[in-house]
């Protein structure tokens, strides 16, 4: 399928020749402005706009609607033609705004009636428009560069809307022929250029404008094929409101728009603040917002009315006064930008301001059966108003089982609040695109995912499964250890947290250990601390690969907790042993861990220096016996690091083990791969399993 | 037989029965009541000939009327069962494939083309603000093996192990339940990625006051499914920002993104196609002109604001009478005041 339709590029060619200065003869009453004046004033005579003014106003209205509904990728090139052509903007996206065009038009000024009519022609503009259509837009360029091999899928098509005052049907034919010839000429030139593309299809829309009260010299003609490259149509329209209506219809046809009229909008009257009257506001938007009506055949029942002898249709939807400001997620199947048909009218601006202030309005659709259903919603996002299509058909998700009835539904102590806190910390924010961030590697979303991975490496789901996350004292460390990198200050904070825990243990402070599932009072105090230290180690170990400072936090923990387990062991079964025996055994077995002991002593020393003497005496009091041999029950049994494995270990093995451990923590193996035979797994095994649980149901 | 299988395995699927030959007939509209379907099937009579095309049209009508146009994105299963050897009679059944995504994900476990569901981050419901979605899915937790459970949950994936001990399963902590609870309490959604440039969201949806569920909605595939969020690949963790974009007290939000150029209804545009538009704008200037010279500042402000349009359009008038009159008017006003 080819990319870029005819509506990607629209060239406006507006006739600026002396004859366009002629009056449209549609009068604008001005005396109404001055009713409150005193006597003796000169009454204001009505004014009428020139053909040029009408053409400019109506074409700008076309642009306004287009830019409202399609802020991107639908481009306009505005060209004015008199004795030469004036291109007012380029295809570039930043040139696409009505403000830009208005300023450029102000600089052009009205047609000069004194100019020599012989030199002036709309032809200059038409030739310029064809040339312009050959120029590729930034979007076409981007698509061509990214598609590479299939760059021929990028089409170059466009539309020329010419607003002029033609002399006759022959004159119109002459203009068509001229465009046809120019296309052939330009296509030859474009074939050899990088920045140009031959025109594959061009739609010429000639709008002949003539003053009111005159007969037209040019006949209307529907679209016909001039050649395989060019189609042409002629619209003969009276200046003034007829022209405005015509261009409004054209913009709808050209860009697949449809009209919705919101009825029953209650508005306070300016004079009588207590009363409110109901108003209607017409909006234009992409016609897909009415898709449901077309499909269900409800279109005409939905209050669709024909106006202007069937040329224009609008669907009527009824305003439902919003009750609350509550935020909720509606099931919405589409959202389309809108543009009010009459943007400055009081009802329109009241409605749009209401929406821009953050309120949403539900809209009701009358149905065939006479029943009513909420089918749409108007809501603004960042200064843009969207018409949301709400799902109003039956849902396949009738009466789903509650999550509390499923797996894990009967667990009552989930860490809901903690996970909520975690979610708040992992909210997203838009990061401005800049060459710098690209250079720094990962795109923001990947960094967000990496952060989630780090934060959840160890994250117990229920309160009774964890000790450390129920302890205020661990918070500083737990918050810091998940960081990608630690500063020297962070490291100190972590170490302080550990020392603080050691201190707590020495003081025999109670721990928030869950007693669920255990009889009586639960584990003894020293056992509680053993559980706590194990858990803390598990948490920190999942991050040691992060940086050298992460490793030092772990070292600190291992060092600081090294005594308590010995005490435990000793209390349990070491009392009968002889001191000397123990000492000898210990010396033999401790060789491999000398380093860690040294570190431990060093850190302890550092800690002890800051402690009161009481602490010192406690340690002594608590340790009347010498330490228990370590080999009887290795402290780090379950969570032993590869480095600590017995016997000589090669660096490679250490590394591989470490990576495997790290990787296995990050993901669960695919069920298919685990149960696969020769790398082939049977699909949909749950079909056979009567109790099979299906993860997802689709509506 | 087929219905029995479905009744056992897909209790929540909707099935309808359509019989067809030269004509088609909806025997049973979409339902979860498999007994009704069975009954209707046993009451089927023989018809004249087989005409699949008509039946497919019929099915398309039935689906559209019942579920709306958003449903055709899903495959309609067809099965033909030969009931009698003498008379060829086809029975066509349609089911809305609830587990389409599940299959999609499972398929990819094996082919390894696309990784599984990944959470990118979290966004407040007010910020994501009723986004348009192409489909909705109910996410049901399934039991995870005990060993896996001990390691702690990988938030970035859905548990896929299955166990027959469903009764036990209710008591085993499940990440889906935790996620659901927190999303509900915090009023947030989890932004998930299904594949390259394909995103969706997980959120809690309440069916009634008691029942509530974890749901997943999928956005249209593309790098920027919602204009008010911008490109999803450009959404980063708040820790990356120099200052918390939500404020210390959650008083602000980086969303929605503002477009570079305001829409016409959000700025002062000059549209004088209708006489009233022109009259209102001129009146504004005259009203202020009358208050000269005291309100000079206000006058200039109004003139400047209106001037963008004025400059452009005033000159276009073929007759300058009005402008002349305005000048006279302004002079009169100034004189009146003096």
In the stretch 307-326 of chain B, residues with CB closer than 8 A to chain A read: 308-309, 311-313, 315-319, 321-322, 325
Is residue A514 a part of any domain in this protein? yes
**Of A77-81, A517-521, B117-121, B320-324, which gets the smallest average pLDDT?**
B320-324
Chain A contact for B212, CB < 8 A? yes
Is residue B157 a part of any domain in this protein? no
Other beta carbons within 10 Å of B165: 10
Instruction: With beta carbons less than 8 A apart as the criterion, state whether A77 and A100 touch.
Output: no
Q: Does residue A96 share a domain with residue A23? A: yes
Is residue A680 a part of any domain in this protein? no
Instruction: With beta carbons less than 8 A apart as the criterion, state whether A286 and A294 touch.
Output: no
pLDDT for position B135: 84
| Percent of chain A residues past pLDDT 70, beyond the cut | 71
Q: Does residue B248 share a domain with residue B119? A: yes
Number of domains in chain B: 3
Q: Cα A308 to the chain's mean position, in Å?
A: 40
Instruction: With beta carbons less than 8 A apart as the criterion, state whether B143 and B166 touch.
Output: yes
Q: Which residue of A has its CA nearest to B256?
A: A382
In the stretch 461-500 of chain A, residues with CB closer than 8 A to chain B read: 461-462, 465
Beta carbons of B162 and A693 less than 8 Å apart: yes
Residues from chain B contacting residue A106 (CB–CB below 8 Å): 311-312, 315
Q: Does residue A386 share a domain with residue A460? A: no
Structural domain of B22: 1-109
Is residue A602 a part of any domain in this protein? no
**Binning pLDDT at 50, 70 and 90, where does residue A389 land?**
very high
Is residue A628 a part of any domain in this protein? no
Beta carbons of B257 and A430 less than 8 Å apart: yes
Burial of B285 (0-12, 13-18, 19+ CB in 10 A): buried
- By Cβ distance, the residue of A41, A335, A428 closest to B122 is A428
Q: Does residue B235 share a domain with residue B122? A: yes
**CATH number where A269 lies:** 2.40.290
Residues from chain B contacting residue A693 (CB–CB below 8 Å): 140, 142-143, 162, 166, 169
CA distance A673 to A677: 8
A-B CB pairs within 8 A amount to: 508
CA distance A492 to A19: 84
Is residue B328 a part of any domain in this protein? yes
Instruction: With beta carbons less than 8 A apart as the criterion, state whether A125 and A11 touch.
Output: no
Q: Cα B96 to the chain's mean position, in Å?
A: 19
Q: Does residue B123 share a domain with residue B101? A: no
Q: Does residue A422 share a domain with residue A381? A: no
pLDDT for position B111: 26
C-alpha separations of A292 from A129, A371, A389, B60, B157 in Å: 39, 16, 9, 15, 36
- B22: closest CA of chain A, how far (Å): 25
DSSP SS3 for A402 = coil
Tens of pLDDT, residue by residue over A15-74, are 999 999 888 888 877 666 555 555 555 666 677 888 998 999 999 999 999 999 999 999
ipTM summary value? 0.75
**Binning pLDDT at 50, 70 and 90, where does residue B115 land?**
very low
Tens of pLDDT, residue by residue over A473-510, are 999 999 999 998 899 999 999 999 999 999 998 888 88
Q: Does residue B255 share a domain with residue B128? A: yes
pLDDT for position B139: 82
pLDDT for position A677: 63
CA distance A261 to A294: 17
Other beta carbons within 10 Å of A652: 8
**Binning pLDDT at 50, 70 and 90, where does residue A95 land?**
very high
Is residue B308 a part of any domain in this protein? yes
Q: Is A441 left (phi over 0), alpha (psi -120 to 50) or beta?
A: left
Quick one: DSSP state of residue A480? H
Is residue A200 a part of any domain in this protein? yes
Sign of CA dihedral A490, A496, A498, A500: negative
Q: Does residue B123 share a domain with residue B85? A: no
Is residue B95 a part of any domain in this protein? yes
Beta carbons of B8 and A58 less than 8 Å apart: no
Q: Does residue B185 share a domain with residue B242? A: yes
The answer to whether the bond into A244 is cis (omega within 30° of 0) is no
Chain B contact for A212, CB < 8 A? no
pLDDT for position A277: 84
Q: Does residue A560 share a domain with residue A470? A: yes
Burial profile A483-505: b = 16 or more Cβ within 10 angstroms, e = fewer: beebeeebbebbbebbbebbebb
CA distance A444 to A373: 42
Q: Does residue B191 share a domain with residue B105? A: no
- B49: closest CA of chain A, how far (Å): 30
Q: Does residue B80 share a domain with residue B40? A: yes
Q: Does residue B327 share a domain with residue B312? A: yes
- B138 phi and psi angles, rounded to 5 deg: -85, 130
In the stretch 148-207 of chain A, residues with CB closer than 8 A to chain B read: none
DSSP SS3 for B66 = helix
Mutate one of B312, B321, B327, B335 to test the A interface: name it (highest A CB count within 10 A).
B312
pLDDT for position A434: 72
Q: Cα A542 to the chain's mean position, in Å?
A: 32
Q: Does residue B314 share a domain with residue B246? A: no
Torsion of CA B302, B308, B310, B313, to 10 degrees: -170
Is residue A642 a part of any domain in this protein? no
- By Cβ distance, the residue of B120, B152, B160 closest to A448 is B120
Chain B contact for A286, CB < 8 A? no
Tens of pLDDT, residue by residue over A503-516, are 998 888 888 876 55
Chain A contact for B286, CB < 8 A? yes
Is residue B19 a part of any domain in this protein? yes
Q: Cα B251 to the chain's mean position, in Å?
A: 26
Q: Does residue A459 share a domain with residue A371? A: no
Residues from chain B contacting residue A53 (CB–CB below 8 Å): 313, 316-318
Residues from chain B contacting residue A462 (CB–CB below 8 Å): 173
Residues from chain B contacting residue A377 (CB–CB below 8 Å): 130
Is residue B288 a part of any domain in this protein? yes
- By Cβ distance, the residue of A241, A681, A698 closest to B97 is A698
In the stretch 569-628 of chain A, residues with CB closer than 8 A to chain B read: none
- By Cβ distance, the residue of B30, B101, B189 closest to A696 is B101
Max Cα–Cα distance, chain B, nearest Å: 108
- By Cβ distance, the residue of B171, B233, B271 closest to A61 is B271
Beta carbons of B140 and A695 less than 8 Å apart: yes
Number of domains in chain A: 3
Structural domain of A451: 415-431+442-567
Q: Does residue B192 share a domain with residue B322? A: no
Domain boundary among A533, A567, A601: A567
Higher-pLDDT residue of B205 and B30 is B205
CA distance B328 to A30: 14
CA distance A516 to A246: 77
Mutate one of B102, B105, B151, B318 to test the A interface: name it (highest A CB count within 10 A).
B318
- A686: closest CA of chain B, how far (Å): 8
pTM of the model: 0.75
Average pLDDT score, chain A: 80
Q: Does residue A250 share a domain with residue A188? A: yes
Beta carbons of B181 and A419 less than 8 Å apart: yes
Domain boundary among A223, A255, A287: A255
Chain A contact for B236, CB < 8 A? yes
Domain boundary among B226, B260, B294: B260
Is residue B150 a part of any domain in this protein? no
Residues from chain A contacting residue B77 (CB–CB below 8 Å): none
In the stretch 221-250 of chain A, residues with CB closer than 8 A to chain B read: 241, 244
- By Cβ distance, the residue of A45, A377, A427 closest to B121 is A427
Residues from chain B contacting residue A360 (CB–CB below 8 Å): 130
Q: Does residue A196 share a domain with residue A76? A: yes
**Binning pLDDT at 50, 70 and 90, where does residue A414 land?**
very high
CA distance B216 to B332: 69
Is residue A531 a part of any domain in this protein? yes
- By Cβ distance, the residue of A41, A102, A670 closest to B309 is A102
Beta carbons of B264 and A327 less than 8 Å apart: no
CA distance B76 to B63: 9
Question: For residue A75, is pLDDT > 90?
Answer: yes
Q: Does residue A370 share a domain with residue A516? A: no
Instruction: With beta carbons less than 8 A apart as the criterion, state whether B161 and B145 touch.
Output: yes
pLDDT (average), residues A640-650: 45
Residues from chain B contacting residue A420 (CB–CB below 8 Å): 182, 185-186
What order of strands is seen across the sheet that includes strand B91-95?
A: B24-31, B15-20, B91-95
pLDDT for position A120: 92
Q: Does residue A216 share a domain with residue A182? A: yes
pLDDT for position B338: 32
Beta carbons of B256 and A393 less than 8 Å apart: no
Chain B contact for A102, CB < 8 A? yes
Tens of pLDDT, residue by residue over B37-68, are 777 777 766 555 556 666 666 666 666 566 55
- By Cβ distance, the residue of A30, A44, A410 closest to B170 is A410
pLDDT for position B307: 53
pLDDT (average), residues B272-280: 79
Torsion of CA A625, A627, A628, A631, to 10 degrees: -170
pLDDT for position B104: 31
Q: Does residue A211 share a domain with residue A265? A: no
Q: Does residue B256 share a domain with residue B120? A: yes
**Binning pLDDT at 50, 70 and 90, where does residue B14 land?**
low
Sign of CA dihedral A500, A505, A507, A513: positive
Q: Does residue A245 share a domain with residue A190? A: yes
Q: Does residue A290 share a domain with residue A167? A: no
Chain A contact for B277, CB < 8 A? yes
Is residue B267 a part of any domain in this protein? no
Higher-pLDDT residue of B238 and B65 is B238
Is residue A643 a part of any domain in this protein? no
Higher-pLDDT residue of A643 and A189 is A189
Chain A contact for B26, CB < 8 A? no
CA distance B168 to B174: 12
Instruction: With beta carbons less than 8 A apart as the criterion, state whether A104 and A89 touch.
Output: yes
């Amino acid at each position: 399928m080819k990319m870029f339709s005819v509506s990607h590029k629209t060239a406006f060619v507006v006739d600026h020749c002396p004859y366009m200065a002629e009056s449209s003869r549609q009068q604008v009453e001005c005396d109404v402005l001055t009713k409150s004046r005193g006597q003796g004033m000169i009454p204001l005579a009505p004014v009428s706009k020139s053909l040029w003014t009408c053409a400019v106003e109506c074409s700008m209205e076309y642009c306004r609607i287009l830019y409202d509904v399609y802020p991107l990728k639908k481009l306009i090139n505005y060209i004015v033609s008199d004795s030469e052509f004036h291109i007012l903007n380029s295809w570039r996206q930043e040139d696409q705004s009505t403000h830009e065009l208005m300023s450029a038009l102000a600089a052009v000024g009205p047609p000069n009636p004194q100019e020599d009519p012989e030199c002036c022609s709309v032809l200059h503009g038409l030739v310029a428009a064809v040339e312009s259509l050959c120029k590729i837009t930034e979007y076409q360029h981007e698509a061509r560069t990214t598609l590479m091999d299939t760059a021929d899928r990028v089409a170059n098509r466009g539309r020329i809307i010419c607003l002029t005052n033609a002399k006759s049907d022959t004159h119109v034919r002459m203009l068509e022929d001229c465009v046809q010839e120019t296309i052939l000429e330009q296509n030859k030139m474009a074939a050899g250029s990088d920045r140009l593309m031959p025109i594959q299809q061009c739609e010429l829309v000639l709008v002949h404008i003539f003053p009111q009260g005159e007969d037209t010299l040019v006949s209307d003609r529907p679209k016909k094929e001039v050649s395989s490259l060019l189609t042409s149509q002629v619209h003969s329209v009276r200046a003034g409101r007829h022209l405005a209506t015509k261009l409004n219809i054209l913009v709808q046809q050209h860009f697949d728009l449809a009209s919705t009229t919101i009825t029953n909008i209650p508005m306070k009257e300016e004079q009588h603040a207590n009363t409110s009257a109901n108003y209607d506001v017409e909006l234009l938007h992409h016609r897909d917002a009415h898709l449901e009506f077309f499909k269900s055949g409800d279109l005409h029942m939905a209050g669709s009315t024909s106006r202007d002898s069937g040329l224009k249709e609008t669907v009527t939807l009824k305003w439902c006064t919003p009750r609350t400001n509550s935020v909720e997620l509606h099931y919405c199947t589409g959202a389309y930008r809108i543009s009010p048909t009459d943007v400055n009218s009081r009802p329109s601006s009241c409605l749009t301001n209401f929406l821009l202030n953050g309120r949403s309005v539900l809209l009701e659709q009358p149905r065939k059966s006479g029943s009513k259903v909420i089918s749409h919603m108007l809501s603004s996002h960042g200064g843009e108003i969207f018409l949301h299509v709400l799902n109003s058909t039956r849902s396949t998700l009738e009466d789903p089982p509650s999550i509390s009835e499923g797996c894990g539904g009967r667990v009552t102590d989930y860490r809901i609040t903690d996970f909520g806190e975690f979610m708040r910390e992992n909210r997203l924010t838009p990061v401005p695109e800049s060459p710098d961030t690209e250079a720094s590697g990962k795109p923001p979303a990947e960094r967000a995912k990496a952060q989630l991975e780090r934060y959840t490496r160890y994250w117990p789901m229920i309160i009774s499964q964890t000790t450390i996350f129920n302890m205020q004292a661990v918070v500083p460390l737990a918050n810091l250890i998940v960081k990608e990198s630690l500063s020297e200050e962070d490291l100190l904070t972590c170490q302080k947290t550990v020392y603080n825990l050691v201190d707590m243990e020495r003081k025999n402070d109670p721990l928030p250990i869950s007693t669920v599932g255990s009889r009586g009072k639960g584990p003894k105090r020293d056992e509680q601390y053993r559980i706590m230290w194990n858990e803390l180690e598990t948490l920190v170990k999942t991050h040691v690969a992060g940086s050298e400072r992460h490793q030092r936090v772990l070292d600190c923990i291992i060092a600081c907790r090294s005594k308590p387990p010995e005490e435990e062991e000793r209390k349990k079964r070491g009392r009968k042993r002889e001191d000397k025996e123990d000492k000898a055994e210990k010396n033999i077995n401790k060789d491999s861990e000398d380093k860690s002991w040294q570190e431990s002593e060093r850190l302890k020393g550092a800690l002890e220096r800051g402690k009161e003497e009481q602490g010192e005496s406690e340690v002594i009091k608590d340790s009347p016996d010498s330490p228990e041999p370590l080999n009887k029950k290795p402290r780090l049994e379950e969570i032993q690091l590869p480095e600590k494995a017995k016997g000589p270990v090669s660096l490679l093995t250490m590394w591989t083990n470490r990576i495997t451990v790290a990787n296995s923590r990050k993901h669960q193996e695919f069920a298919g791969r685990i149960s696969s035979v020769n790398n082939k797994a049977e699909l949909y095994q749950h079909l056979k399993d009567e109790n099979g649980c299906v993860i997802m149901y689709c509506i | 037989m087929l219905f029995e299988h479905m009744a056992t395995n897909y209790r929540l699927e909707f099935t309808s029965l359509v019989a067809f030959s030269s004509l088609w007939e909806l025997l049973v509209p979409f339902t979860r009541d498999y007994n009704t379907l069975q009954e209707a099937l046993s009451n089927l009579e023989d018809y004249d000939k087989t005409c699949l095309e008509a039946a497919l049209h019929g099915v398309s009508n039935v689906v559209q009327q019942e579920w709306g146009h958003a449903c055709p994105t899903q495959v309609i299963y067809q099965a033909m069962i030969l009931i009698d050897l003498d008379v060829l009679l086809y029975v066509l059944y349609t089911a809305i494939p609830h587990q389409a995504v599940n299959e999609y994900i499972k398929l990819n476990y094996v082919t390894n083309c696309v990784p599984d569901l990944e959470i990118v981050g979290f966004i407040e419901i007010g910020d994501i603000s009723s986004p348009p979605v192409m489909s909705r899915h109910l996410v049901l937790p399934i039991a995870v093996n005990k060993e896996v459970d001990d390691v702690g949950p990988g938030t970035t994936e859905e548990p896929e192990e299955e166990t027959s001990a469903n009764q036990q399963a209710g008591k085993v902590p499940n990440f889906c339940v935790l996620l659901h609870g927190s999303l509900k309490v915090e009023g947030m959604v989890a932004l998930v990625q299904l594949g390259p440039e394909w995103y969706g969201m997980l959120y809690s949806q309440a069916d009634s006051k008691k029942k509530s569920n974890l749901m997943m909605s999928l956005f249209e595939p593309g790098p920027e499914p919602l204009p008010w969020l911008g490109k999803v690949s450009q959404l980063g963790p708040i820790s990356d920002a120099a200052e918390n974009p939500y404020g210390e007290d959650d008083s602000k939000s980086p969303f929605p993104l503002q477009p570079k150029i305001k829409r016409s209804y959000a700025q002062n545009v000059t549209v004088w196609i209708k006489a009233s538009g022109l009259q209102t704008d001129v009146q504004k200037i005259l009203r202020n002109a009358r208050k000269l010279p005291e309100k000079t500042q206000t006058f200039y402000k109004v003139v400047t604001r209106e001037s963008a349009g004025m400059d452009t359009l005033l000159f276009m008038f073929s007759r300058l009478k009005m402008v002349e009159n305005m000048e006279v008017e302004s002079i009169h006003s100034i004189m009146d005041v003096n």
